[in-house]
Chain A
Amino acid sequence: MAVSEIIFVLAKGLLVTFQIALGAWVVAVLLGLLLCLARDMGSRPLRWLVNALIALFRSVPQLVLIYLFYFGSGAIGLHIPGIVAAIFALGITESAFHAEYYRGALMVVSPNQREAGKSLGLSGLKTFRLIVLPQAIPYALAPMLNSFISLAKLATLAAAVGSPEVLYSGQSLMQLTGQVTLVISLVIVIYIVFSVPLSRLVRRLEERIEVA
Chain B
Amino acid sequence: MKLQIHITCLATVFSIADAAAPPVFPGLADPGTLNTLSIQGDAKDKGITLSGRDARGQLVVSGHYSTGQQRDLTGQATYRTTPENILKVNARGGLLPLANGTATVTATAKGKSTFIQVTILRMGTEPAVHFDNEVTPILTKLGCNTGACHGKKGGKGGLELSLLGYGPEMDHQHLTRQGRIRRIMMEAPDLSPFLRKATGDLPHVGGARLERGSPEYHTLRRWITEGGRRGDAEAPKVASIEVFPKQRVMPRKGTQQLRVVAHYTDGTLEDVTRLAEYKTGAASLAEADETGLVKTRELIGDVAVMARYQGQVAPFRITIPMGVKVAQWPQPRNFVDVEVFRKWREVAIPPSEPCDDPTFIRRVTIDIAGRIPKPAELSAFLADQKVGKRERLIDRLLASTDHADYFANKWAALLKVGRGYHPPAFRRGVYGFHAWIRRSLHQNKPYDQFVREILAASGPISRNPNVAWFRAPNPQLFRKNHLLMEDASQIFLGTRMQCAQCHHHPFEKWSQDDYRSFLSFFTYTRTTPVEVPADEIGVVPLINAAVTARGLGDKPMTIPPGQDARSVMVDWMAKPDNPFFARALSNRYWKHFFSRGLVEPEDDLRDSNPPTNPGLLDALAEHFVKSKFDLKGLILEICRSHTYQLSALPNEYNKTDLQYYSRYYTRRLHAEVLLDAVDQVAGTHTVFKSAYSNTLPAGTRAVQLPAATWSHPFLNAFGRPQGKSACECERENSPTLTQALQLLNSSVINGKINQPNARPAQWAADTERSAKEKIAELYRLAYARAPTDSELTVATSYLERASEKPAPLKTNNSKPPPDPLHEAYVDLMWALITRPEFLFND
Are A and B genuine complex partners? no
Q: Which residues of B contact A (CB under 8 A)?
A: none
